[in-house]
Structure 1
Amino acid sequence: MVRRHRRRAGLDAQWPARTSPGEQWGGRGISGGQWQRLALSRIHLRGAGIWILDEPTSAIDAEAEQEIFAELYANRADRITLVVTHRAWTLRQMDRIYVFDDGRVVESGTYTELLRRRGRFADLFAQQAEGDLAALSAEPVTSGDM
């Protein structure tokens, strides 16, 4: 069972089975993204009915982030999952999204509904997309520039 949860969180490829994370406990130093994967693995193992995830993939690369959110979505049937994030695209498959502004709910709906409303959520999405598009239109980095 532990191996299945390690695999779900993407840990099998990174650590041998008996790795002790955290230098403070006499183990191996690990990155912020690895700590996040470990935390996600632990919540799978615990089997709680409610998961509250605050920026659960902020230190994880985009490809792994997509895999983790796909896993969360695929295994959501038996629990309530509350995800707090500033990355609009990570919420695509969520059943319901609540948008907060200044501590108050200002919008709620599905991903598509919120984009079509062209409200606060759509503004946040557009700002994030503009940043991505600006990076794409910038001068390419060559190996000599690194």
Structure 2
Amino acid sequence: MLRNFNLWGICALVLTGCAPAASGVIRLPELQLKDSKVSMNAELSYVLQVQLTNPNPFPLHLKNISGQWILNGKISHALKLPDLVLPPSGNLSYNLNTTGPIPDGFKTDKTHTFRFDGGYLLEAQGKQTTLQEYTLWQGAFRLP
């Protein structure tokens, strides 16, 4: 009898994992850095290709996307992005371009890290929530 209970319990867990999210639950979008290029002239120029994935069967609106660009653990500059709309159960590719000052003591032969720490207003199905201060994208680079 105990063996049957365990089998049914495992089946229930497996089937529950395959069920759609409960009504009213909004899953957060996935944000992924696909590619980055950095160049240096009078400033550092960053060109990032990012992919945003909406796991929900309805569109997601990301508004007021803003935060701090951080280079080697220190704040470089503030950054504000345009509002984005992610299609239902789909992807959106976005090219992020920004420039920032070259910090004192910056060495071109060293590997450097960057990240964008910020937040945004998430709007979906008439509901809004603010997501604040977490790392949206991060990466590393070394100038040629």
TM-score interval w.r.t. the shorter chain? under 0.3
Which has the greater radius of gyration?
2
> Normalized against structure 2, the TM-score is what?
0.23
Greater share of residues in helix: 1
> Normalized against structure 1, the TM-score is what?
0.23
Greater share of residues in strand: 2
Larger RCO (CA under 8 A, 6+ residues apart) = 2
